[in-house]
Amino acid sequence: MQLTPVIAIHLSAALAALAIGPVALWARRSGQARAVLHRAAGYAWVTLMLMVAITAVFIRDYRLPNIAGYTPIHLLVPITLGSLALAFWHLRHGRIRSHRLIMIVLYISACIVTGALTLLPSRYLGQVVWGQWLGLI
């Protein structure tokens, strides 16, 4: 597998979402609510997560256990899209606690946990980081 344009877009959007997510979460949780910053960072984060989920559909790996090139990590695509839709549904209906909880869980699972899973030595990015960049494998 090589760094194709789709993988580059996916990786760039994922890294940006990883960085922007805490800003959106912090802007609302701090003592003095920063609604404008929360909304701007939140919409940027959601846009980036949509980019990550959509580009993931076009990234396939036939080396790992898969079905038509889709590995178990691809199950996060419908989960991410569904979670984003549900979070906005809760927001629209004034259920702020539910919105907040979904967004926090989505950030942790889709950005942090999935990001860590992509660094496994059997994955493409893990081979690049651990093998090519650090020379450890």
pLDDT of residue 30: 58
Rounded to whole angstroms, the Cα distance separating 22 from 110 reads: 13
- 37-73 pLDDT tens trace: 999 999 999 999 999 999 999 988 787 788 888 888 8
Q: Tell me the one-letter amino acid at 47.
A: T
Within a domain: 136: no
Within a domain: 24: yes
φ and ψ at residue 67, rounded to 5 degrees:
-125, 110
Within a domain: 117: yes
Within a domain: 137: no
Note down the domain range covering 115. Answer: 5-130
Within a domain: 120: yes
Three-state DSSP state, 67: strand
Within a domain: 64: yes
Within a domain: 135: no
Within a domain: 82: yes
- 98-112 pLDDT tens trace: 999 999 999 999 999
CB 130 within 8 A of CB 119: yes
